[in-house]
């Protein structure tokens, strides 16, 4: 339910960023130089930059477009991190689950 609510706020041309950010996040996770806690921040910055570029090329780089790009980038990065965490949490066996069985 929550993921469909978030997607209502993301513009259609920005939706392509979600799988792109997931892939970039997976690549960053495989490197030994980047700590896990920095990956959402990096994805946020990349999402913002790409969103500004996507929206700016279509409509021009005006103040409202840049602000909208920032907001859209944050939403896209948030959705990418949410999807990744949802996948991990739904597929990982946890000790708490085994104790309840």
Domain-by-domain residue ranges, the chain?
A: 12-91
Q: Global pTM?
A: 0.83
Q: How far apart are CA 76 and CA 82, in angstroms?
A: 10
> Would you state the pLDDT for residue 22?
95
Q: How far apart are CA 1 and CA 40, in angstroms?
A: 22
pLDDT of 11 over the 60 cut: yes
| Residue range 30-88, pLDDT digits in tens | 998 999 999 999 999 999 999 999 999 978 999 999 999 999 999 999 999 998 888 88
Q: How far apart are CA 68 and CA 58, in angstroms?
A: 13
Q: Which two tokens stand for residue 34?
A: 């980047």
* Bigger pLDDT: 49 vs 5: 49
CA-derived radius of gyration, the chain = 16
């Amino acid at each position: 339910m929550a993921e469909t609510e978030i997607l209502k706020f993301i513009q259609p041309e920005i939706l392509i960023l979600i799988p792109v950010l997931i892939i970039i996040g997976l690549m960053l996770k495989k490197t030994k130089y980047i700590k896990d806690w920095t990956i959402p921040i990096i994805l946020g910055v990349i999402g913002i930059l790409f969103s500004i570029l996507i929206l700016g090329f279509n409509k021009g780089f005006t103040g409202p477009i840049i602000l909208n790009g920032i907001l859209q980038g944050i939403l896209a990065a948030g959705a990418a991190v949410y999807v990744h965490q949802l996948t991990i949490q739904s597929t990982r066996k946890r000790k708490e689950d085994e104790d309840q069985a």
